[in-house]
A and B are shown apart, each in its own frame.
Chain A
Amino acid sequence: SQTIHQWPATLVQPVGSPLSLECTVEGTSNPNLYWYRQAAGRGLQLLFYSVGIGQISSEVPQNLSASRPQDRQFILSSKKLLLSDSGFYLCAWGPGTVTFFGQGTRLTVV
């Protein structure tokens, strides 16, 4: 069966520090991969999606970037975090439009 791993579960980072969140999927090949952000009490905002290695599409221009160095690995990065980057970050995968989420990372920028 397919599983998705995302870490860390919680993270507190100072403003201006870098960020790296990693996500891996097991049990499937060539999945669609997604990074979402959910601000407190708000809906899901799609940040990036990828349909293959090295193929990244950005939905929202900001100081975040994503990379897919391997088929089942998706990384979310930032060189300098802003206070507004705080939120619940969710990695997700899907064989098509159906989407399955990782446990999420709660990021607090202080």
Chain B
Amino acid sequence: QKEVEQNSGPLSVPEGAIASLNCTYSDRVSQSFFWYRQYSGKSPELIMSIYSNGDKEDGRFTAQLNKASQYVSLLIRDSQPSDSATYLCAVNKKDSNYQLIWGAGTKLIIKP
């Protein structure tokens, strides 16, 4: 079992709809969770961080964390073509304050 798993996609969503991206992780003691967006040929950029169970909203983005079920998700409301990218999930490595374990990413395509 991979430590951080994401569906590779591509996930195709119509413009204006809600895109839902999911990530599961194996280490129950993980404390820090991150979503990054990576456009083709570019470096990843941080979108959201979440540390507590529940929802965290930032503009059109909502991160959801469920530690009991060991999953974290990212919702993108009113999806735009500019949201088309690969979304990476990252979780802090066990017993580390500075290392992240990365998922392989989900490719999201927003269709106009």
Consensus secondary structure, chain B interface: loop
The residue in A51, A97, A106 that gathers the most chain B C-beta atoms within 10 A of its C-beta is: A97
Supposing A43-B88, A43-B104 touch, asked if A97 and B45 sit within 8 A by C-beta, the answer is: no
Supposing A44-B88, A90-B43 touch, asked if A99 and B100 sit within 8 A by C-beta, the answer is: yes
Which segment of B15-23, B58-66, B74-82, B90-98 sits at the interface?
B90-98
The answer to whether B46 touches A98, judged by C-beta atoms less than 8 angstroms apart, is yes
Chain A residues, CB < 8 A from B97:
96-97
1/0 contact string of B23-55 vs chain A (CB within 8 Å): 000000000101000000111111001000000
**Could you tell me how many residues of chain A have their Cβ less than 8 Å away from some Cβ of chain B?**
19
Residue of A nearest to B103 (CB): A43
CB contact list, A92-110 vs B, under 8 A: 94, 96-104, 106
A99 CA to B34 CA, complexed, in Å: 9
Chain B residues, CB < 8 A from A100:
46
List 22 A-B residue pairs with CB atoms under 8 Å apart, sorted by A's residue number.
A44-B44, A44-B88, A44-B102, A46-B99, A46-B100, A90-B44, A94-B98, A96-B32, A96-B98, A97-B92, A97-B96, A97-B99, A97-B100, A98-B32, A98-B34, A98-B49, A99-B34, A99-B90, A99-B100, A101-B43, A101-B45, A104-B43
Interface residues of B (CB under 8 A from A): 32, 34, 41-46, 49, 88, 90, 92, 96-100, 102-105
